[in-house]
Amino acid sequence: MMQGLMMDRPLLISSLLEHAESTHPTSEIVSRRCEGDIHRYQMRDAARRSRQVANLLASLGIEQGDRIATLAWNGYRHFELYFGVSGYGAVLHTINPRLFAEQLVYIINHAEDRYIFVDLTFVPLLEAIQDQISGVEGIIVLCDAGHMPETKLSKVHCYEALLAQQSEQFDWPEFDERSAASMCYTSGTTGNPKGVLYSHRSTVIHAMGSIGEEALGLASTSCFLPVVPMFHVNAWGTPYSAAITGAKQVFPGPGMDGASLWELIDAEQPDLLLGVPTVWLMLLNHMDAIGKKLESVQNVVVGGAAAPYSMIKAFQEKHDAFLIHAWGMTEMSPIGTVNSHNAHMESLPLEQRYQLQLKQGRPIYGVEMKIVDDNHNELPKDGKAYGRLLVRGPWIVSSYYKNDDDSSFIDGWFDTGDVATIDENNYLHIVDRSKDVIKSGGEWISSIDLENAAVGHPDLVECCVIGARHEKWDERPLLLAVRKPGSEVSADDIRDYLTDKIAKWWMPDAILFVDELPHTATGKLLKINLRQQYENYLMEGEPA
Ligand code: ADP
């Protein structure tokens, strides 16, 4: 083949920061801090301090490829570490603080983290496990000297004190763009978490692919609030894509509840919010309670779990905000598909548009996807056939870190573990996680669709549907629901409500009310425990 004659400049994370500093020096970065106040500075300050982070790593004897962990909320110091650590050539390991203690121990040791940068909030987490992570050489607390906590941690340092000693000059090294830049472990609902190791190249291409209108729409004029955490799936890559466009970033820190989010939205007027459905349920409830409208917000990107119909409608009709449904996973950096605005969507009557918005959208450029049956034969893209969803692309995992299990990798494709349909226009609809789908008499029932139909009931806060063993049908759906405080809504009321919303044979065999539902580290329903608890309910118990 004849070769092209273009330069081969490496796609490095430091190049994103250099671009941001020279092109968007005054872009604002606003953060709610663990210390309780609001901090603001500009992109050029972030760039300067990222260089100090790099000098700090050098002074600590960190080598390229070494793992440096963070245990932190969304905030400016975390942002500096994203660029300082990866730019230096070390690997940023973002740790999810919601993992169980044993999982934290496992991933810190598995990644062989040399240092951990930790927010004040999470110091007790490390105190509890410090005896089991002896390979860690030091803990650096993300605060100034005046806020250093009394702590049982040994080998502990103050971030601001260390940073102040560092030069603001640093020449970012150039190296192979395929070098590891950062890593994130899956939440491991079964077995140990698995490490996903992102490269500079994958991160930069993902950032370039995710900024446009057909993706997250992070224009230079936008101001966005990523509630999706920087400690898991890189806040959907937004720190990197913001560096490209210079959008204003508003970091919520530890304030993820409805009231704290509203306070920040009211003060900073973001037009774009990003996060998982549970967060938006809290915000929408809060807005209902105070009777206010999210005036500045134009778009809300919702992913990580399926956005319910009632949420799409509430954002549109109460707040004039468009819900952009998206799908992805840790293994995909994470963005796979986005259900963005387009002319066809705008032309639809509202009800039909909501139905389309329920789908998880179309792949952004770079992601290929197909559905297959159990023998790996490809199924038609007709919106009806459902099968295992396989994906491939330059920002999709090719194997797990130090893990021989290759069962998810099939002929160059990654098996997502999701069951989905894809329609003629390449819109993806996630039917379920393959382990959650309910197999009733040879037919499949989507636990997600059932949950989302039920949660539309005004008296319910949250719903979870699991497959319970059944003598005749193998499995039948069982609905666990959390009522709003003071509500006395009955199982029969819920059945009536569902009658015209689902197929008759989807009607749950039992509807039980519980005080709360368990969640995974990423805020999703922890169905594995519920399945264990209720799997025999329909065999032994009395239907509610
Ligand atoms: P975990 O660490 O919990 O595996 P991920 O954040 O990687 O976390 O989760 C990815 C999974 O979340 C997907 O495979 C899919 O099952 C689910 N998911 C993500 N977005 C959506 C969505 N919009 N609708 C339905 N499910 C989703």
| pLDDT at residue 191, as a whole number | 74
pLDDT above 80 for 348: yes
Q: Which of 21, 80, 177, 331 is catalytic?
A: 331
> What does the pLDDT average to over 366-381?
96
- Whole-model pTM: value is 0.93
Q: At 192, is the pLDDT very low, low, confident or very high (cuts 50, 70, 90)?
A: confident
Mean pLDDT over 146-173 rounds to 97
How many other C-beta atoms lie within 10 A of the C-beta of residue 276?
19
* Segments of the chain assigned to CATH 3.30.300.30: 438-540
Q: Are 32 and 252 in contact (CB under 8 A)?
A: yes
Q: Is the pLDDT of residue 188 over 80?
A: no
Pocket of ligand 1 (CB under 6 A): 186-187, 233, 303-306, 325-327, 329-330, 360, 416-418, 430, 433, 520, 522, 524
Angle (CA) 383-389-392 rounded to 5° is 120
Over range 518-536, report the average pLDDT.
86
418 CA from centroid of ligand 1 (Å): 8
Protein residue whose Cα sits closest to atom 10 of ligand 1 = 329
Residue ranges matching CATH 2.30.38.10 in the chain: 367-394+404-433
CATH fold of 438-540, please?
A: GMP Synthetase; Chain A, domain 3 (3.30.300)
* pLDDT above 70: percentage of residues in the chain: 99
State the pLDDT at residue 189.
Answer: 65
Give the CATH class of 367-394+404-433.
mainly beta
CA–CA gap between residue 536 and residue 541 (Å, rounded): 8
Q: What is the reported pLDDT for 405?
A: 87
Please check the confidence at residue 541 and state whether its pLDDT lies above 80.
no
Checking if the pLDDT of 544 tops 60, the result is no
pLDDT at 164: 98
Give the pLDDT confidence score for residue 182 in this predicted structure: 98
Q: Is 238 a catalytic residue?
A: no
pLDDT level of residue 253 (50, 70, 90 thresholds): very high
Answer yes or no: 444 catalytic: yes
The distance of Cα 543 from the centroid of its chain, to the nearest Å, equals: 36
The structural architecture, per CATH, of the domain 18-357 is 3-Layer(aba) Sandwich (3.40)
Q: For residues 325-335, give the mean pLDDT.
A: 97
> Given 3-state DSSP classes, what are the helix, strand and coil percentages for the chain, each rounded to the nearest 5?
35, 25, 40
275: CA distance to ligand 1 center in Å? 12
Output the pLDDT for position 526: 86
| Average confidence (pLDDT) over 261-272 | 98
Would you call 112 a catalytic residue per the annotation? Answer: no
Q: What was the pLDDT predicted at 162? A: 98
In tens, the pLDDT along 479-505 reads 999 999 999 999 999 999 999 999 999
In this structure, the residue with its CA closest to atom 24 of ligand 1 is 306
- Sheet with 362-363, strands from edge to edge, namely 38-42, 28-32, 248-251, 223-226, 272-275, 299-302, 322-328, 335-339, 362-363
Q: What is the pLDDT of residues 419-468, one digit of tens each?
A: 999 999 999 999 999 889 999 988 889 999 999 999 999 999 999 999 99
